[in-house]
């Protein structure tokens, strides 16, 4: 893909472009905790969005999407573009300009190998790749942390998803063989070696994407905020669910809707699971780590209600198999993929079992995606 972007840029817009890559991500544990200012444990993967960019002398940007096979001209200060994919680029530019940058029109080609709709954050990879590319080419001086916030605010203001910062952070800060233990409030992070000797990480993509995913995402966020508002009436200094204990939640349970209670309860437990999983990781205890992954899935499915039949089916297969240390849905939910920690000795048989049983039940095999934890946003020389 990298070479294709380079060749295409040359063919369409000539020589002199600079090229960049920013990856998708996996998340080992810590789902729907980021916008509650809690903890997450993602890692960048070896699948990325590649961008070629070069300033032009015209009044408009010329942009070609390889994946959508579409070319557009875009006025940086005009209306929001009609194409969804172009809004990510437009949004990043607007967010940079809000922060004082001046961006002249450019030519751009982009495309990638992050599977679309699989929950691997291809959109955050695009925002991060575009942000990183423009930051470098125009020498804007934004830090990686600022670029992550620019990507996150692009989602809020130009796509309509009130996401947290996990995906953009992982795409910008990832490193080979390391997961990112991120505190989503302070944005302090630690790169932890992730080397589960004797195991493999594999993703099973249901290839299901429910149209409700982004609206339900915003509903979940609002439910968490509603829970915080109840607690705040009684306890001072509460900024987010990060500050709420299960004890507080249970004390004021009667003042909140049962659904709100369930959502908040999940988030508080999930935060604790991330911390427990990180402790297990430091000790090299992958069995405990896997148990936390399983608990995360159960909570996401039953308490946060962001799973779906296909994801539950895949997680359940993992939970019943002694060769699988952990299995859970990953990302926002309502489709996409599961992440699985599988013993080497069981790996081949398990892949065959999953393919067979899933196909029997849903009439289509899941897509098997093998990933390596890899480097964050970078320039390609
Ligand atoms: C999506 C969002 F973009 C992230 O910010 C995060 O909330 C995730 O869903 C759920 O953990 O990927």
The tens digit of pLDDT for each residue in 248-293 reads 999 999 999 999 999 999 999 999 999 999 999 999 999 999 999 9
Q: Rounded to an integer, what distance in angstroms lies between the CA atom of residue 201 and that of residue 211?
A: 28
In the prediction, which pLDDT does 26 show? 98
Q: Rounded to an integer, what distance in angstroms lies between the CA atom of residue 265 and that of residue 262?
A: 5
Bridge partner list, 66? none
Bridge partner list, 27? 42
Count the alpha carbons within 13 Å of 271 in the hemisphere toward its beta carbon.
Answer: 22
Q: Rounded to an integer, what distance in angstroms lies between the CA atom of residue 94 and that of residue 247?
A: 43
Q: How confident is the model at residue 210 (pLDDT cuts 50, 70, 90)?
A: confident
Q: What is residue 80's DSSP assignment?
A: P
CB 282 within 8 A of CB 38: no
Q: How confident is the model at residue 2 (pLDDT cuts 50, 70, 90)?
A: confident
In the prediction, which pLDDT does 116 show? 83
Residue of 30, 35, 44, 339 lying closest to 217 (CA atoms):
35
Query: CA 156 from chain center: how many Å?
Result: 14
Q: Rounded to an integer, what distance in angstroms lies between the CA atom of residue 218 and that of residue 196?
A: 34
Compare 212 and 167 and report the one with higher pLDDT: 167
165 CA: nearest ligand 1 atom: 5
Active-site amino acid positions: 167
For ligand 1, the distance from its centroid to the CA atom of residue 141, given in whole angstroms, is 27
What length is written for the chain? 381
Of 124-128, 159-163, 360-364, the range with the lowest mean pLDDT is: 159-163
The ligand 1 site (C-beta within 6 Å) comprises 31-32, 34-35, 121, 163-164, 166-167, 331-332
In this structure, the residue with its CA closest to atom 1 of ligand 1 is 332
**DSSP for 54-104?**
EE-SSSSEEEEETTTTEEEEE-TTSSPPSSHHHHHHHHHHHHHHHTT----
Residue 304 clears pLDDT 90, i.e. is over it: yes
Q: What is residue 78's DSSP assignment?
A: S
Average pLDDT, the chain: 96
In the prediction, which pLDDT does 117 show? 82
For ligand 1, the distance from its centroid to the CA atom of residue 96, given in whole angstroms, is 22
Which residue bears the tokens 């890559």? 21
Residues 75-127: pLDDT tens digits?
999 999 999 999 999 999 999 999 999 999 999 999 999 988 889 999 999 99
Residue of 196, 158, 160 lying closest to 177 (CA atoms):
196
Burial of residue 84 (number of CB atoms within 10 Å: 0-12, 13-18, 19+): exposed
In the prediction, which pLDDT does 212 show? 66
32 CA: nearest ligand 1 atom: 11
Q: What is residue 363's DSSP assignment?
A: S
- For the chain, domain boundaries: 2-193+375-380
Residues 164-208: pLDDT tens digits?
999 999 999 999 999 999 999 999 999 999 988 899 999 999 999
Compare 40 and 215 and report the one with higher pLDDT: 40
Count the alpha carbons within 13 Å of 256 in the hemisphere toward its beta carbon.
Answer: 26
Q: Rounded to an integer, what distance in angstroms lies between the CA atom of residue 374 and that of residue 148?
A: 18
In the prediction, which pLDDT does 24 show? 98
For ligand 1, the distance from its centroid to the CA atom of residue 27, given in whole angstroms, is 9
CB 241 within 8 A of CB 228: yes
Average pLDDT over residues 354-370: 97
Burial of residue 212 (number of CB atoms within 10 Å: 0-12, 13-18, 19+): exposed
35 CA: nearest ligand 1 atom: 7
**Most informative mutation of 218, 301, 332, 336 for ligand 1 (most atoms within 8 A of CB):** 332
Residue 19 clears pLDDT 80, i.e. is over it: yes
In this structure, the residue with its CA closest to atom 3 of ligand 1 is 163
Average pLDDT over residues 14-40: 98
In this structure, the residue with its CA closest to atom 5 of ligand 1 is 164
- Measure the N-to-C terminal CA separation of the chain; round to a whole number of Å: 15
355 Cβ neighbours under 8 A, 6+ residues apart: 365, 366, 368
Pair of tokens at residue 257: 């809707």
Percent of the chain at pLDDT > 90 equals 95
State the alpha helices, DSSP H only, in 252-342. 258-282, 286-302, 309-319
In this structure, the residue with its CA closest to atom 9 of ligand 1 is 332
Helix (H) / strand (E) containing 336: strand 335-343
Pair of tokens at residue 218: 């915003």
In this structure, the residue with its CA closest to atom 2 of ligand 1 is 163
The complex scores an ipTM of: 0.99
* Architecture field, domain 2-193+375-380: 2-Layer Sandwich (3.30)
3-state secondary structure of 378: strand
**Most informative mutation of 152, 165, 167, 209 for ligand 1 (most atoms within 8 A of CB):** 167
Which residue bears the tokens 């594999």? 202
Q: Rounded to an integer, what distance in angstroms lies between the CA atom of residue 365 and that of residue 359?
A: 5
Residues 220-234: pLDDT tens digits?
999 999 999 999 999
């Amino acid at each position: 893909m990298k070479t294709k972007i380079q060749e295409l840029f040359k063919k369409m817009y000539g020589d002199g472009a600079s090229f960049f890559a920013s990856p998708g991500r996996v998340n080992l544990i810590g789902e729907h905790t980021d916008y509650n200012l809690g903890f997450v444990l993602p890692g960048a993967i070896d699948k990325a969005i590649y961008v070629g960019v070069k300033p032009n002398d015209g009044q408009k940007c010329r942009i070609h999407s390889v994946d959508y096979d579409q070319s557009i001209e875009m006025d940086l200060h005009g209306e929001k573009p009609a194409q969804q994919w172009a809004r990510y680029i437009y949004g990043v530019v607007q967010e940079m300009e809000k922060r004082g940058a001046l961006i002249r029109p450019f030519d751009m080609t982009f495309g990638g190998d992050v599977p679309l709709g699989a929950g691997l954050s291809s959109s955050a990879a695009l925002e991060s790749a575009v942000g990183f590319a423009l930051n470098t080419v125009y020498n804007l001086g934004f830090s990686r942390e600022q670029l992550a916030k620019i990507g996150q605010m692009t989602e809020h203001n130009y796509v309509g998803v009130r996401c947290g910062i996990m995906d953009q952070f992982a795409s910008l800060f990832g490193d080979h063989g390391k997961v990112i233990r991120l505190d989503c409030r302070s944005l302090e992070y630690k790169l932890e070696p992730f080397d589960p000797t004797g195991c493999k990480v594999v993703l099973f993509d249901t290839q299901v994407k429910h149209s409700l995913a982004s609206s339900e995402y915003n509903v979940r966020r609002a439910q968490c905020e509603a829970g915080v508002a109840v607690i705040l009436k009684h306890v001072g200094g509460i900024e987010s669910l990060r500050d709420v204990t299960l004890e507080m939640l249970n004390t004021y349970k009667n003042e909140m809707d049962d659904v709100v209670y369930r959502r908040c309860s999940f988030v508080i437990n999930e935060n604790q699971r991330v911390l427990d999983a990180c402790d297990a990781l430091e000790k090299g205890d992958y069995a405990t780590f896997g148990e936390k992954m399983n608990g995360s899935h159960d909570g996401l499915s039953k308490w946060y209600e962001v799973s779906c039949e296909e994801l539950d089916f895949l997680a359940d297969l993992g939970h019943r198999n002694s060769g699988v240390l952990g299995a859970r849905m990953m990302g926002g939910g309502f489709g996409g993929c599961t992440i699985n920690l599988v013993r080497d000795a069981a790996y081949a048989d398990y892949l065959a079992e999953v393919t067979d049983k899933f196909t029997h039940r849903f009439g289509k095999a899941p897509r098997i995606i093998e990933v390596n934890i890899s480097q964050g946003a970078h320039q390609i020389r």
